[in-house]
């Protein structure tokens, strides 16, 4: 029996119960956008088998019109969620009639290939956000709650800058993960529930230790709230863990305080800055992939390949040698005996080879 799109959508979301909350929310948002698209195109109440074979192509173009070409990351996120939905439909035998999932993907590739991912170009002034919060945390503050917020914000911003972690990953950090600020590395669970190792420099660990010492509590989350709710057990967040959204707002606030209020800084800019710095200093794409926690090397190549090529250009310019320079060295070398007119000794006549006898003896 053919399923209406809404019913199939709910069935797909039920299969995501084993995924992380962030993944479930991301996929649900993508399917909400897909539903809006279907309504706009007059297909809001159709069956899944009646969907057109080029439906993902049309959805992609609709997203581009809605968000603009500069929001390619948002568009790609929504496409990824709906593509997983269509993979689910094919497994259930409920996909568009007469069209395979592979053919749907191929059509989508044809459209998206003409709109390549816009490579990030981190603003060189981003380190000013770090220096601004570091300087503020050194100033004397009478209000205890404000002092804790400053120490916390300094630790957060430096963790982002030092490690290139996502804001969700920073939010999930516990004090045990960093051994109270004494661990030079930690194993975290990142996007797609994949484990990876992140590394801390000594300065960042100093800031973590200073913050935890000032807190003087037993809460496990590394970064917690220090507002009026502190001291009351809050429903849904009894340990006062700072949310990913709060970490995002922290970066926004310090970017503005650093005098960069006209810039669109986000936590993700720290990841881009970390990656480009590593690549420009000689790191390999595969190493950056592991440090950032990209599931596929293709993701790293697509976003950062131009920085890797820039480093190769630097190596090319630094180590290439003009032909004239090599020719000049040839003129200065000691002359060989043959060039000095010396005669080579005559070869002795070849000796006749002895017969080795019949084969097999």
Catalytic residue among 33, 271, 272, 274: 271
Residue 311 annotated as catalytic: no
Beta bridge partners of 195: 189
Q: Which position among 268, 301, 302, 306 bears the catalytic label? A: 268
Name the token pair of 167: 């804001």
Residue-level length of the chain: 361
The one catalytic residue in 152, 294, 307, 311 is 294
Active site residue 24: no
Cα 236 to Cα 229: distance, rounded to the nearest angstrom:
13
**Residue 166 annotated as catalytic:** yes
Nearest CA among 221, 134, 139 for reference residue 230: 221
Catalytic position from the list 191, 249, 253, 306: 191
> Annotated catalytic residue: which of 83, 149, 154, 166?
166
Q: What is the C-alpha separation between 138 and 147, in angstroms, rounded?
A: 10
CB 91 within 8 A of CB 233: no
User: Is residue 271 among the annotated active site residues?
Assistant: yes
* Best CA proximity match to 82, nearest among 147, 28, 2, 160: 28
Catalytic residue, chosen from 172, 304, 307, 311, is 304
- Per the annotation, the verdict on 268 as an active-site residue is yes
22 is catalytic: no
Rounded to the nearest 10 degrees, what angle do helices 285-292 and 297-319 cross at? 140
DSSP 69: G
The set of catalytic residues is 166, 191, 268, 271, 294, 304
């Amino acid at each position: 029996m053919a399923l209406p799109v809404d019913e199939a959508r709910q069935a797909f979301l039920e299969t995501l119960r084993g995924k992380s909350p962030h993944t479930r929310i991301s996929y649900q948002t993508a399917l909400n956008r897909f539903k809006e698209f279907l309504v706009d195109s007059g297909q809001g109440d159709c069956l899944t088998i009646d969907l057109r074979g080029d439906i993902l192509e049309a959805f992609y173009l609709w997203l581009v019109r809605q968000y603009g070409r500069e929001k390619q990351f948002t568009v790609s996120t929504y496409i990824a969620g709906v593509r997983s939905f269509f993979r689910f439909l094919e497994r259930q035998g409920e996909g568009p009639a007469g069209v395979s999932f592979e053919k749907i993907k191929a059509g989508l590739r044809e459209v998206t290939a003409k709109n390549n991912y816009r490579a990030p170009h981190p603003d060189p002034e981003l380190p000013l956000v770090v220096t601004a919060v570091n300087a503020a945390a050194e100033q004397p503050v009478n209000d205890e709650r404000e002092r804790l917020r400053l120490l916390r914000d300094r630790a957060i911003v430096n963790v982002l800058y030092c490690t290139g972690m996502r804001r969700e990953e920073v939010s999930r950090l516990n004090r045990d993960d960093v051994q109270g600020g004494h661990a030079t590395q930690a194993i975290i669970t990142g996007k797609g529930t994949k484990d990876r190792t992140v590394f801390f420099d000594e300065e960042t660990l100093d800031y973590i230790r200073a913050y935890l010492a000032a807190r003087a509590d037993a809460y496990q989350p590394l970064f917690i709230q220090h507002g009026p709710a502190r001291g009351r057990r809050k429903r849904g967040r009894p340990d006062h863990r700072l949310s990913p959204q709060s970490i995002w707002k922290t970066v926004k606030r310090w970017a503005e305080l650093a005098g960069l209020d006209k810039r669109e800084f986000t936590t993700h800019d720290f990841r881009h800055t970390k990656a480009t710095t590593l690549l420009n200093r000689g790191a390999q794409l595969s190493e950056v992939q592991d440090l950032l926690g990209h599931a596929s090397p293709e993701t790293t190549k697509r976003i950062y390949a131009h920085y890797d090529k820039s480093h190769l250009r630097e190596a090319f310019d630094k180590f290439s040698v003009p032909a004239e320079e090599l020719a000049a060295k040839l003129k200065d070398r000691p002359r060989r005996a043959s060039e000095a007119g010396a005669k080579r000794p005559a070869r002795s006549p070849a000796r006749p080879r002895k017969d080795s006898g019949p084969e097999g003896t």
